[in-house]
């Protein structure tokens, strides 16, 4: 197989706080191939957003810092890359869209200014050409009246429209990797579907690899080729999306799937995983999920399992998977 677009190896991003060092991302390895859509799933606070910000090296520093591992983008280790090199990559080769379309666009610049800026930062383009290109991009992401919208301000658009603008901005320089951090969480269900369709369409047209961060397994099922499940800063299960959804091995993944409402059964109450995500920094030896796991054994409390191969393209960090 050809070289992967992105290969994260044993990434460790820690936060240095007054109460000590907090390992928000603690040994995460993820691989994304060209044209592939990989989902990262997990509860709030599992480290999925920090992982994505680490790839862009945009983790607020201080307090956050990448303390170990490698992030290979087309073979180049971004952990070692200079800030200057990172600026060339950001927005050009790797682009990112965020969860909050309402606040992710600058309120005091027009849509055209903001898309055009992304273009002009990475290519030699005149203001006029950048504006033309902005209009093209707006049309591409399905914004009606693109010629008028280009001169409007973000507050004049709805949330779904703003997310389309964010996507237009991200795709403006034809990135090889698009990181989408909960791109649909803040949107209505109908708008969600439109945005997901749009992303899939762009993924197919431009062959852009997508790293989709979400807590919504429905989105994963609809969008992704592969899925990585994260828990407390670790990858706990990964594999082909169909395999994981049909045959999950890790009790946490099983719990996540069980907590989805099902059409064919009428349930009085939805299942929920007991307990809460452990506060990073309060972790003890053994499997991190053990305190909440209904099937935890003595071994689980003493020893953390590796990612154990279950079948082809499916690995799980659970002693039960052996």
Partner 1 sequence: MLSYSIRRILMLIPVLLGMSIVVFSIIRAIPGDPALTILGEKASAKAIADLREVLGLNNPWYIQYFDYLKQIITGDLGVSLHTGASIAKEIGPYLAATTELTIFSMCFAVFIGVNAGIISAWKQNSWFDYTAMLIALIGVSMPIFWLGLMEQWFFAQELKWLPSVGRDNPRDPVQAITHFYIVDTILAGRWDQFRDVVEHLILPGIALGTIPMAIIARITRSSMLEVMRADYVRTARAKGMAQFGVVYKHALKNAMIPVLTVIGLQTGLLLGGAVLTETIFGWPGVGRYIYTAIGNRDYPVIQSGILVIATIFVLINLLVDLLYAYIDPRIKYR
Rounded Cα distance between 280 and 285, Å, is: 13
Rounded Cα distance between 85 and 83, Å, is: 5
**Beta carbons within 10 angstroms of residue 18's beta carbon:** 5
DSSP 8-state assignment for residue 153: -
Rounded Cα distance between 246 and 311, Å, is: 13
- Options 91, 239, 251, 280; binder of partner 1; rule CB under 8 A: 91
Instruction: Yes or no: say if 75 and 12 are a contact pair by the CB < 8 Å rule.
Output: no
- Options 8, 50, 78, 105; binder of partner 1; rule CB under 8 A: 105
Shortest approach of partner 1 to residue 92 CB, angstroms?
6
Instruction: Yes or no: say if 20 and 47 are a contact pair by the CB < 8 Å rule.
Output: no
Say whether residue 66 binds partner 1 (CB under 8 A): no
| Closest by CA position to 221, among listed 191, 253, 251 | 253
Instruction: List the interface residues with partner 1, window 240-279 (CB under 8 A).
Output: none
CA-atom Rg of the chain in angstroms: 20
Say whether residue 51 binds partner 1 (CB under 8 A): no
- Options 98, 231, 252, 289; binder of partner 1; rule CB under 8 A: 98
Site string for partner 1, 118-157 (x = CB under 8 A): x--xx------------------------------x-x--
Task: Say how many residues touch partner 1, by CB under 8 A.
Answer: 28
Piece of 106-114, 195-203, 228-236, 247-255 that binds partner 1 (CB under 8 A): 106-114
Residues within the interface to partner 1 (CB under 8 A): 56, 58, 86-92, 95-96, 98, 100, 103-109, 117-118, 121-122, 153, 155, 166, 169
């Amino acid at each position: 197989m050809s070289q992967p677009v992105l290969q994260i190896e044993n990434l460790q991003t820690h936060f240095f706080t007054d109460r000590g060092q907090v390992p928000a991302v603690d040994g995460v390895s993820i691989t994304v191939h060209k044209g592939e859509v990989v989902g990262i799933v997990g509860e709030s606070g599992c480290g999925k957003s920090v992982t994505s910000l680490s790839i862009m090296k945009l983790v607020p520093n201080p307090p956050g810092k990448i303390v170990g591992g490698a992030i290979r983008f087309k073979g180049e280790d971004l952990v070692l890359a200079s800030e200057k090199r990172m600026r060339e990559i950001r927005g050009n080769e790797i682009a990112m869209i965020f969860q909050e379309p309402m606040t992710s666009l600058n309120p005091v610049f027009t849509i055209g200014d903001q898309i055009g800026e992304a273009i002009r930062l990475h290519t030699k383009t005149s203001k006029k050409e950048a504006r033309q290109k902005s209009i093209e991009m707006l049309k591409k992401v399905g914004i009606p009246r693109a010629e008028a919208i280009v001169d409007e301000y973000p507050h004049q658009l709805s949330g779904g429209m703003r997310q389309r603008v964010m996507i237009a901005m991200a795709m403006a320089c034809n990135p090889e990797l698009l990181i989408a951090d909960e791109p649909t969480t803040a949107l209505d269900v109908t708008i969600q579907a439109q945005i997901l369709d749009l992303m899939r369409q762009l993924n197919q047209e431009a062959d852009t690899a997508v790293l989709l961060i979400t807590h919504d397994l429905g989105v994963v099922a609809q969008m992704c080729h592969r899925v990585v499940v994260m828990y407390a800063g670790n990858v706990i299960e990964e594999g082909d999306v169909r395999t994981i959804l049909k045959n999950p091995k890790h009790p946490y993944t099983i719990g996540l799937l069980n907590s989805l409402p099902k059409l064919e059964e009428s349930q009085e109450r939805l299942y929920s995983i007991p307990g809460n995500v452990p506060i990073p920094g309060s972790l003890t030896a053994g499997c991190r999920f053990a305190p909440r796991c209904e099937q935890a054994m003595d071994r689980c409390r003493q020893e953390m399992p590796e990612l154990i191969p279950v079948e082809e393209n499916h690995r799980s960090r659970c002693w039960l998977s052996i």
